[in-house]
A and B are shown apart, each in its own frame.
Chain A
Amino acid sequence: MAKITLIEGVTMALARAMEEDPAVVVLGEDVGINGGVFRATAGLQQRFGDERVIDTPLAEVMIAGMTVGMSTQGIKPVAEAQFCGFTMPMIDHLMCHAGRMRNRTRGRLSCPMVLRFPTGGGIHAPEHHSESPEALFAHMPGIRVVMPSSPSRAYGLLLAAIRDPDPVIYMEPKRIYRWQREEVEDDGEELPLDVCFTLRDGKDVTLVTWGAMVKETLQAADQLEQKGVSAEVIDVATLSPIDMDTIIESVERTGRCVIVQEAPRHCGVAGEIAANLADAGIWSLQAPVKRVCGYDTVMPLYRNEMKYMPSVKRILHAVNQVLEVS
C-alpha cells in the first residue's frame, strides 16, 4: 500500500468518488490541465474528461451559485475555491441559499454539494491566502464544516462529504498538505462527519485542536510527556457539528482543557467548545478552560505570520496555567 500525503488523500478520494458516482463533478479555477494550484486535482481531467473536471472562468460567485444550482438538479458538484480568502464572495450563496434550500422548500430541493479549499497560514503565501475562516462557515445553519488533519482523515472525510446529502464545507489545512505520509487504502471507506478523533491518550490535560495546529499540539504533548505530564490530544475534525461527547468524556478524566486554534479568538470555534464545556462539563473541570488562538488582528503578511499563529511555546504556556490550578 502506498504511503500518501494529506493532499494525495484528497486526490484519491476525489478520484474514488468520481469513479463510483457519475454524478460527481469537480469544478473550479485551474483545476483542469493545471491540476489545481496545489495539485489536488492532478490527473483528474485526463482521467474523467473536461465535462466532469471543469475549469471555470475566474468568478467565485459564479462557482458558488452554480454549485447550488447543479446540486439541486441531480449533479453532485465538488467545487474548489483556490484559497480561503477567495471564498468571501461565495458567502451569499452559501448562507442565503445552500444552507437554506432544504428547509425553505420543505425538503423538495436540497444541495448535496462540497466546497473545498485550502485554509490557514504558514506557507509564505501572499495576502488573502492565509486566513482561517472556519468560524464564519460553522456559524451558518444547514451547512457541515469539516477539516481533516491527516492523509487518512482527508480521504475518509472527503468521501463522506461528497456522499452526504447536504452541503459540506471541506477545509484543507495547506501547511500540513505534505507534512506526513501515511498508508491509506483506497477502499472507499468513509469516516463519520460528526465524530472527533483522539490522537493521543492522556490523563492530566485535554488538548483540543483541529487542522494544521494538530502538528504543534502533538509536539507540545511530546514535550509535556518529558516533564511527566500526560496530555490527551483530540482532533475535532468536524467543526459543525462538533462531537462534544468525546471532548467532555476526555475532560471528565483529565479535569483540564486547553483549546488550540489558528483562527482569531473572538467568536471562534474554540469559544464554542469552551461554552459547551461550561454547559455540560463544568463539574468535571478543575481549572479554567484556556484558549490559545490567533490574534484578533488581520493575518499578517508572511514575514510575521508565524508570530501570529499559536506556537508550541504558547500552547505550553497555557497548559502550565491550567496545571498550576490545584
Chain B
Amino acid sequence: MARTVAAFKVDHFQFLGEDGKLLDEQHVPAVARDFDRLTDLYRLMTLTRAFDKKAIALQRTGKLGTYASSLGHEAAHVAIGAAMREEDCLAPMYREYGAQFYRGVKMSEVLLYWGGDERGNDFSSPRHDFAWCVPIATQCLHAAGAAMAYKLKNEERVAVSIVGDGGSSKGDFLEAINAASAWKLPLVLVIVNNQWAISVPRSKQNTASTLAQKGIAGGLPSIQVDGNDLIACLWAMEKAISAARAGKGAFVIEMLTYRLSDHTTADDARRYRPQEEVDQAAEKEPLKRLRRYLIDQGAWDEQREQELVNECTQFVQQAADEYIDTVQNDPQPVTAMFDYMYQELPHDLVEQRAYAEQFPEDGGHH
C-alpha cells in the first residue's frame, strides 16, 4: 500500500498585469504604492534598455566585441539589484546589467569587458561582487561559497546568484541548491528563465512544469514570479533576502521572462525561432506595463518620459565616449597580461614579460 510521504506545490506570483493594471487591488505588496521607488526603478530600467541599444550599435559598427543583450529582462535584473544591500554579494552570469548598474558597476566597465579589455571586470563598486561568469552556472557555487563565508564569519550578508533556464540544467546549479539546503546558507538563487538557451527552447530542456521545483527537490522554499512584473520580482527578492539574512536559509526564485534579442550579437535567432513568438512576447515586456501603471497612478507623464529618454541618450553616449577614449588613448600594453597573474610575478614569467616587451605592438596578423 502506498502512502504520500511528500507533496509539493509551486506558487506563481504576479501583481501587475500586462495592461498596467493591478491584478487584485486588495492584495498587493506595499512596494506597489511606493511610487518614488517605483519611479526610480523605472528610470533605471529605461536607462538599461538605452544602454543595451547603444552597446549593440557599438558592436554593429565594429567598436565592441560580442555583446550579450539584456533586452526584455530589465524588471528581473533591476529588481535583483534593488533588493540587495551594498554589502551583499552578487554572482551574475553575463547579461544582468540592470542589477549591476543599481549596485554601482559603471556602463563604461561593461563596455570594456565586451570590448575585450580586462579592466571591465575591475568594477569601481561593489569591489566584493563577482565578475561576469561565462562558463554557465559555475557562479551558483561561488555564491554558495560566499554565503558559507558569511555564515562562518557571522556576518549578516546574503549572496545572490543569477542563472538562466539553460544553466539550470547544469550540475553546478543543483549542487548549489543542495549545499545551501544542507548548510542553511544565506543564499538567493534566481533563475531568470528567458525561455531560450541559445537555440534550445525551454520545452526541450526538460519536462518539469517549472524550474523553481528544482529548488524544492533540494529542500529549499521556491517560487515562480512573472519576471516582467517589477513589483512581483522586487517583492519576491526582498522576501527571500530578508529570510536569508535572518538565518532562515536559502531561497530559489524563478523569474519568467523572455529573451527578446538574439542570444548574443554573434547569434542569429531567426534561424531557429519564429518571429510571431517574439512579437507576442514583446507585448508582455516589462517597461510598457510599468509605465502605464505609473501614468495611471499619476506618478509619471509624457513630459517626464521625454526628459528621461533624453537623459538616457546623453548618459549612454557619455559612457560610450569614455569607453572609446580608454581603449584608444589608454590601451593596455602587452605587459598587462602578466601584471595580475600572481601577487608576485614568478621568475619564469618575469623572463617572459621582458621578452614580450620586445614585441609590444605585435600581432597585426588577424
A-B contact count (CB 8 A): 146
Chain A contact residues: helix, strand, loop or mixed: loop
B341 within 8 Å of A (CB atoms): yes
A57:B366 contact, CB within 8 angstroms: no
A285 within 8 Å of B (CB atoms): no
**Contact partner, A127, options B132, B198, B327, Cβ 8 Å:** B132
A314 within 8 Å of B (CB atoms): yes
Which residue of B199, B204, B331 has the most chain A CB atoms within 10 A of its CB atom?
Answer: B199
**Which chain B residue has the least Cβ–Cβ distance from A302?**
B116
B116:A122 contact, CB within 8 angstroms: no
B169:A57 contact, CB within 8 angstroms: yes
Stretch at the interface among A26-34, A142-150, A199-207, A248-256: A26-34
**Which chain A residue has the least Cβ–Cβ distance from B266?**
A37
- B contact residues around A295 at 8 Å (CB): 337-338, 349, 352, 356
Stretch at the interface among B24-32, B239-247, B357-365: B357-365
Give the interface size class of chain A: 35 or more
- A contact residues around B66 at 8 Å (CB): 124-126
A34:B271 contact, CB within 8 angstroms: yes
B117 within 8 Å of A (CB atoms): yes
CA distance A302 to B205 in the complex (A): 32
CA distance A128 to B124 in the complex (A): 23
Which residue of A30, A128, A301 has the most chain B CB atoms within 10 A of its CB atom?
Answer: A301
Which residue of B66, B120, B132, B331 has the most chain A CB atoms within 10 A of its CB atom?
Answer: B66
**Complex interface bits, B155-170 against A, C-beta within 8 A gives 1, otherwise 0:** 0000000000011011
CA distance A89 to B172 in the complex (A): 10
**Contact partner, A304, options B332, B364, B366, Cβ 8 Å:** B332
B118:A301 contact, CB within 8 angstroms: yes
CA distance A93 to B118 in the complex (A): 32
A57:B362 contact, CB within 8 angstroms: no
B348 within 8 Å of A (CB atoms): yes
CA distance A126 to B115 in the complex (A): 9
- B contact residues around A55 at 8 Å (CB): 199-200, 204
A95 within 8 Å of B (CB atoms): no
CA distance A297 to B334 in the complex (A): 11
- A contact residues around B362 at 8 Å (CB): 306-307, 311, 313-314
CB distance from A153 to the nearest CB of B (A): 22
- B contact residues around A216 at 8 Å (CB): 365
A34:B197 contact, CB within 8 angstroms: no
B19 within 8 Å of A (CB atoms): no
**Contact partner, A303, options B135, B169, B331, Cβ 8 Å:** B331
Known: A33-B271, A58-B167, A216-B365. A304 touches B334 (CB 8 A): yes
CA distance A266 to B127 in the complex (A): 32
A312:B169 contact, CB within 8 angstroms: no
- B contact residues around A34 at 8 Å (CB): 198-199, 271-272
- B contact residues around A122 at 8 Å (CB): 366
28 contacts between A and B (CB under 8 A): A29-B200, A30-B199, A30-B200, A33-B271, A37-B198, A57-B166, A58-B166, A59-B171, A62-B171, A86-B135, A88-B135, A124-B65, A126-B66, A126-B134, A127-B132, A128-B134, A295-B338, A295-B352, A301-B118, A303-B331, A304-B334, A305-B116, A305-B363, A307-B356, A311-B364, A311-B365, A313-B362, A314-B362
Please name the 3 residue pairs, one residue from A and one from B, whose CB atoms are nearest each other, closest first: A306-B363, A302-B116, A34-B199
Q: A33-B271, A62-B171, A88-B135 are in contact. List 13 more A-B contacts (CB 8 A).
A: A29-B200, A30-B199, A85-B135, A125-B65, A129-B134, A219-B365, A297-B349, A300-B118, A302-B116, A305-B363, A306-B362, A306-B364, A307-B356
